[in-house]
Structure 1
Amino acid sequence: MTSTDSRPQTAGVAPGAWASLAVVSGGLFLAVMSTTVVSVALPAIGQAVQANATDLEWIVDAYVLVYATLLVAGGTLGDRYGRKGLFLLGIGLFAGGSLLTGLASSVPVLLLGRVLQGIGPALLVPGSLTIIRATFEDERRRAVAIGLWSTSSGLAMALGPVLGGVLVHAAGWRWVFLFNVPLALILLLVAAKSVPKLPRVPAEAGFDWWGAVLSTVSIALLVLGVIEGQAAGWDAPLVIGCFVAGVAALAGFVLWERRKREPLVDVKLFAYRGFAVANAAAFVVFFGFIGVIVYLSAFFQQVRGESPVSAGLNIAILGVSLAIAAALTGKLVERVGERGPMVFGLLLSGAATLALLVLDNKSGIGEMWWQFVALGVGIGLCGTVTTTIAMSAVAAERAGMASAIVNALRQIGQVFGVAVLGALVYAGLSHGGAGGKLPPEQGIQFVDGLHNALWVAGLALIAVAIAAVALLPRSDHSGQQKGAPK
């Protein structure tokens, strides 16, 4: 796929390519940071709008759920109706959702704004790599561009908690959302001039609307069941109904996609071991990592009584370690292949998560910093490699769909991580105390619940590492997987 820009290209790089890279990287930065920046603001939001623990989970999950479930559909729509137009629309919707959320005075309006925010990245993120591929035709320069694009995600994870803490402390929780608006508008103006129009991909069949509906409904019902289970009880008719209907919708989605000539998701791709393992790893990594970030941030504020700025600086240790490891992973993969860094990263992050079980209600960052560093390095190693493994496990013509699936499963893992781990953390607490510092007795109960969440996250990471050792095809030092289907 090439750019429609007719101006001459230099050294395999289209005119305006670096400006386009800055724009698409900026879009990814805002999309990722809109999750991490909120984590330190949840206690303040809870106090301001009288939100309980379930409400706070939905403030995180409403954004990520919409983002995750529409991601693959957004990629397909971009192919058919134009990447640039969908990219600009995504930025505009993200800005509008940020404005609505920042001005909200009640939980329902907050959730509506977060849903609108989530639609934006679902439209703009899938087209980012396509735009980079079209504007950087030289493979070496394209690799540099993709590395810079990926680094923006790590920086968002590193800076999000710190920025969130500073904004909450200096200007109030509303600016955690409002600060997105001017940045998004700047991106919108630059993108309109610098991002090229790319040829549309012709399709023999219409868009798979039923596939999009079934996938969205199934994930939403399962997440609703997990979140509401802690409030209504796991045997409540509503909760049981959500799980049953969610599983039924998921089964219907799989059956429907197997029959489609041009499916939204080609479920047959999961028959390839490398693809299946890489996607399982992507799900578990974000399940454990983002869930742990959200509730460690709550621990520092609700149990330790630290300020949002202090909590953000503590969590930033994780993000900085992740960003550094992610930046170095490319060179490591060139030397030893993909399998080793992925397995080692999963084992290291799982062990570091379990090592956090030593924390109690009096623990500070002085006792936990080394676990934070190890966890960030582990996630940086394995998280960076999962997309490459998934892409190399399938034929070239399916690479776009493979990329969309693995990114969607990352976000879905994040949704379930916040929901499942949150159910464990707050299991013994009254929801009314979710917004501020907890009394000492409830602080101990919070730590007990956090220990249960750490057990689940740590063991899940180690389990997928073992599965990777057993099932992942070996790779040579160039990163090409042996036995990958052609």
Structure 2
Amino acid sequence: MRRSPWATLVVLALAQFMVVLDVTIVNVALPGIQSDLGFSVTGLQWVISAYTLLFGGFLLLGGRAADLLGSRAVFTIGLALFGATSLAGGLAPSPGWLIAARAVQGLGAALLSPAALSIVTVTFAHGRARNIALGVWGGLAGLGGTLGVVAGGLLVDALSWRWVFFVNVPVVVLLLAITPRFVARFGPRAGERSFDLLGAVLGTGGLLALVYGVVRAQPVGWSSPEVVGCLIGGVLLLVAFVAAEARSAAPLVPLRLLRSRTLSSAGGALALNGASFLSTFFLVAIFLQQVRHGSALRAGVEFLPMGGAAILAALTATAMVNRFGTRPVQTAGAAVSVAGLLLLSRTGADDAYAAWLLPGLVLFGFGIIGVGVPAQIAARADVATAEAGAASGVVQAFYQVGGALGLAVVTTVSTSRADSAIAGGATPSAGLTDGFHRGLLIAAAFSVAIFLVSALSPRVAPHKEQQPVDGVTVAA
């Protein structure tokens, strides 16, 4: 059956949009969840953290499974698991039930997301078509995070917190019904089909330990034995993982992927991009609600221009990559991000939204996707089709783990600064504003690092309709 690649993209992008939306939509429901289910203050964080932990920890395994079992099969399994656990979360009668549902939902996302990106990579040929597809992918991902706050506010205000989970169910049912019609079946990779059990245990365990340590850093402190032990253990497991992969006949992650300068530099940029985006999103959401005293719904509406800028950036970046290649577009995106963050970092509690927050959010939204789209394109420029799933898992693991680390660092610095200011006699509003400013300067430092990484990265020029050479595309 002949399928339109653009119809395939719509199905896959809608699934990814739902995954990204779910990261932020739950945030505005937390107060209702806490009062309804009787969560403790420390326990409530696990509604978010359980999802992040499993999502980040199992991405490598999800990407490899897509290569070995077939990407559409793994996508479908992940999608069904995501929908079933969304329903279970909405029906949760207790804190333990909800946390367990969120954890398994994260596992579903870790299967779904790299498989979907793998299908996009192999559905569209190298060059302009793939660049446009990845631009759409990046734009919807940026918009999903923003719309999650608006959608969550609307659902909680009009219905209840349970609907931030129930809303996924009809979307998943629709996607499961139309996937066989619009998404081609890509068979399993030929040859050895070993899952590399040792690599899976070491790689997944290392990522889980790192993400868990980062998640726990905020409530218990970076110097806590629990956090230090997890971070050291995670690093040791990942070192052992690299050693095991070097000797494996069928590795979970072929090390030649990590030796690729285009993929490794793009992965570094995406990790820093995730750190900048997630930390800025968190800080601005707190600033809008706790300092400027807006409602969750109003905060979401005030975020919307950032989402619109993200869509415009995706379209613009795609066109610019086709003309100039990835490196100049990526460095320009980083520079715009820095400008937006510096403007936001000078915003006071009573400053006009239109004069300060709006231009800062628009610049940042434009810049963050201006980095993401060319980095996504560059990361796949020299990846063979048979390893598209593994490469997608690696790239998304960079982003998720980088985002978790960056958020933890910025949250710790921002909270420490706010507490210190309040202890010194500042009002709570002034202290939170001071912490907000300090956190945004750290986020701006991440974007400066993106600029440096991008400036030193290879210049991939996929605007020329590249032809694979032995399964590999040549980058300049």
Cα distance, 1:134 vs. partner? 6.1
Number of residue pairs aligned between Structure 1 and Structure 2: 463
Within-5 A mapping of 1:297-446: 297-363=285-351, 365-366=353-354, 367-393=356-382, 398-427=387-416, 441-446=427-432
Aligned-partner Cα distance in 2 for 1:477–1:222? 35
Aligned-partner Cα distance in 2 for 1:108–1:429? 32
Aligned-partner Cα distance in 2 for 1:445–1:394? 48
User: 2:283 is matched with which residue: 277, 295, 304?
Assistant: 295
Aligned-partner Cα distance in 1 for 2:370–2:199? 33
Within-5 A mapping of 1:144-163: 145-163=133-151
Instruction: Give the corresponding residue for 1:104.
Output: 92
| Structure 2 counterpart of 1:445, one-letter code | G
Instruction: Give the corresponding residue for 2:433.
Output: 447
User: 2:50 is matched with which residue: 57, 62, 67?
Assistant: 62
Deviations 1:356-375 (A, max 9, x none): 22234434533311010100
- Native 8 Å contact 2:218 2:412 kept in 1: yes
SS of the residue 2:380 aligns to: helix
**In structure 2, do the counterparts of structure 1 residues 369 and 56 end up closer, same or farther at CA, with 3 Å as the change threshold?**
farther
Instruction: Give the corresponding residue for 2:241.
Output: 253
Structure 1 stretch displaced more, 260-269 or 136-145: 136-145
Aligned-partner Cα distance in 1 for 2:323–2:406? 33
Aligned-partner Cα distance in 1 for 2:105–2:176? 15
| Structure 2 counterpart of 1:74, one-letter code | G
SS of the residue 1:358 aligns to: coil
Structure 1 stretch displaced more, 70-79 or 18-27: 18-27
- Native 8 Å contact 1:43 1:298 kept in 2: no
- Native 8 Å contact 1:349 1:379 kept in 2: yes
- Native 8 Å contact 1:158 1:320 kept in 2: no
Aligned-partner Cα distance in 1 for 2:389–2:103? 25
Aligned-partner Cα distance in 2 for 1:187–1:403? 21
Q: 1:466 aligned to 2:452? A: yes
User: 2:26 is matched with which residue: 22, 38, 42?
Assistant: 38
SS of the residue 2:171 aligns to: helix
Unaligned runs of 5+ in 1: 1-6, 8-13, 431-439
- Native 8 Å contact 1:322 1:376 kept in 2: yes
**In structure 2, do the counterparts of structure 1 residues 298 and 63 end up closer, same or farther at CA, with 3 Å as the change threshold?**
same
Aligned-partner Cα distance in 2 for 1:140–1:343? 20
SS of the residue 1:41 aligns to: helix
Instruction: Give the corresponding residue for 1:478.
Output: 463
Aligned-partner Cα distance in 1 for 2:250–2:159? 49
Deviations 1:253-299 (A, max 9, x none): 22222222222123343333332221110001011102211231122
Aligned-partner Cα distance in 1 for 2:77–2:193? 24
Unaligned runs of 5+ in 2: 420-425, 467-472
Cα distance, 1:33 vs. partner? 1.0
**In structure 2, do the counterparts of structure 1 residues 48 and 389 end up closer, same or farther at CA, with 3 Å as the change threshold?**
same
Aligned-partner Cα distance in 1 for 2:438–2:464? 37
Deviations 1:80-132 (A, max 9, x none): 22333322221111112212222335443332121111122222222324444
- Native 8 Å contact 1:64 1:412 kept in 2: no
User: What's the C-alpha RMSD, in Å, of the aligned pairs?
Assistant: 3.0
TM-score by length of 2: 0.87
Deviations 1:415-438 (A, max 9, x none): 2233333333444789xxxxxxxx
Identical amino acids, percent of aligned pairs:
34
Instruction: Give the corresponding residue for 1:4.
Output: none
**In structure 2, do the counterparts of structure 1 residues 385 and 142 end up closer, same or farther at CA, with 3 Å as the change threshold?**
closer
Aligned-partner Cα distance in 2 for 1:208–1:477? 33
| Structure 2 counterpart of 1:97, one-letter code | T
| Structure 2 counterpart of 1:334, one-letter code | N
| Structure 2 counterpart of 1:373, one-letter code | V
Deviations 1:353-410 (A, max 9, x none): 1322223443453331101010011012111111111222556665543333112211
Q: 1:178 aligned to 2:178? A: no
Structure 1 stretch displaced more, 73-82 or 368-377: 73-82
Deviations 1:34-80 (A, max 9, x none): 11323433454455555566545443332233223222311221222
SS of the residue 2:143 aligns to: helix
Aligned-partner Cα distance in 1 for 2:55–2:26? 15
Cα distance, 1:321 vs. partner? 0.7
SS of the residue 2:26 aligns to: helix
Aligned-partner Cα distance in 1 for 2:312–2:110? 27
Instruction: Give the corresponding residue for 1:434.
Output: none
Aligned-partner Cα distance in 1 for 2:335–2:353? 23
- Native 8 Å contact 1:333 1:479 kept in 2: no
- Native 8 Å contact 1:227 1:420 kept in 2: no
**In structure 2, do the counterparts of structure 1 residues 449 and 284 end up closer, same or farther at CA, with 3 Å as the change threshold?**
same
